[in-house]
Structure 1
Amino acid sequence: MTAIFRRLALTGLGVALGACATKAAPPTQRYALGMARADYRDYAGAKANPCDAEPRWLSDELTAVNGLLSRFLQDTEAPQQAQQAALLQEATRTLPPVLKVHEGTLAALQQCGFRRSGAFPEIARRGAELLKATQARLAEAPAALEAAALGEARKRWQEEAPQREATARGSWCADKPQVGQALLYYARQDAEGRTEWRFCDGLRVEQPANGAPQLVEPEGLSARDRRRIQPQRYLDAARDFPPEEVDRQPTRVPAKETAPESASGGNG
Structure 2
Amino acid sequence: MKSLRRRILLVGLGSVLSACAARPVPAVRHYSLGMSRADYRDYAGAKADPCDAEPRWLSDELTAINGLLARFVDGTEKAADMDAPEQPQHLALLEEASRTLPPILEVHEGNLRGLARCKFRDSGAFPEISRRGGELVKSARERLAGTQAAVAAAALRATQQAWKDGAAEREATARGTWCTANPKVGEASVFYARQNLDGVTEWRFCDGSRVEQRADAEPAFIEPEGLSARERRRVQPPRYLQAAKEFPAGEIDRAPTSAAAKSDAPAP
The residue number in structure 2 matching 1:167 is 173
Is 152-161 or 131-140 further displaced after alignment? 152-161
The 1:244/1:261 distance shift into structure 2, 3 A limit, reads farther
How high is the TM-score relative to the length of structure 2? 0.80
**Partner SS, residue 51 of structure 2:** helix
Distance in 2, matches of 1:34 and 1:178, equals 62
**Partner SS, residue 122 of structure 2:** coil
**Partner SS, residue 71 of structure 1:** helix
Is 36-45 or 120-129 further displaced after alignment? 36-45
1:185-200 mapped onto 2 (5 Å cutoff)? 185-200=191-206
Unaligned runs of 5+ in 1: none
Distance in 2, matches of 1:60 and 1:37, equals 13
Q: Confirm or deny that 1:35 pairs with 2:38.
A: no
Q: CA RMSD in A?
A: 2.9
The residue number in structure 2 matching 1:259 is 262
The 1:163/1:37 distance shift into structure 2, 3 A limit, reads farther
The residue number in structure 1 matching 2:63 is 63
Aligned residue pair count? 250
Please state how far the C-alpha of 1:192 moved relative to its aligned partner.
4.1
How high is the TM-score relative to the length of structure 1? 0.80
Q: Confirm or deny that 1:208 pairs with 2:211.
A: no
Please state how far the C-alpha of 1:65 moved relative to its aligned partner.
1.0
**Partner SS, residue 194 of structure 2:** strand
Please state how far the C-alpha of 1:136 moved relative to its aligned partner.
1.9
Please state how far the C-alpha of 1:115 moved relative to its aligned partner.
1.9
1:168-208 residue CA offsets vs partner (Å, 9 max, x unmatched): 33333344333233332221223443211111221111122
Distance in 1, matches of 2:29 and 2:188, equals 70
The residue number in structure 2 matching 1:221 is 227
Is contact 2:256-2:262 (8 Å) kept? no
Is contact 1:186-1:246 (8 Å) kept? yes
The residue number in structure 2 matching 1:73 is 73
State the AA in 1 paired with 2:267: S
The 1:173/1:37 distance shift into structure 2, 3 A limit, reads farther
Distance in 2, matches of 1:34 and 1:170, equals 50
Distance in 1, matches of 2:176 and 2:72, equals 48
Q: Confirm or deny that 1:233 pairs with 2:239.
A: yes
Distance in 2, matches of 1:175 and 1:42, equals 76
Match of 2:253 among 236, 247, 261: 247
The residue number in structure 2 matching 1:51 is 51
**Partner SS, residue 30 of structure 2:** strand
**Partner SS, residue 31 of structure 2:** strand
Please state how far the C-alpha of 1:263 moved relative to its aligned partner.
4.5
Is contact 1:168-1:264 (8 Å) kept? yes
The residue number in structure 2 matching 1:131 is 137
**Share of identical aligned residues, percent?**
60
1:122-143 residue CA offsets vs partner (Å, 9 max, x unmatched): 1111001111111222233333
The 1:110/1:190 distance shift into structure 2, 3 A limit, reads same
Unaligned runs of 5+ in 2: 82-86
Please state how far the C-alpha of 1:86 moved relative to its aligned partner.
2.7
The residue number in structure 2 matching 1:176 is 182
Please state how far the C-alpha of 1:45 moved relative to its aligned partner.
0.9
Is contact 1:250-1:261 (8 Å) kept? no
Distance in 2, matches of 1:248 and 1:233, equals 24
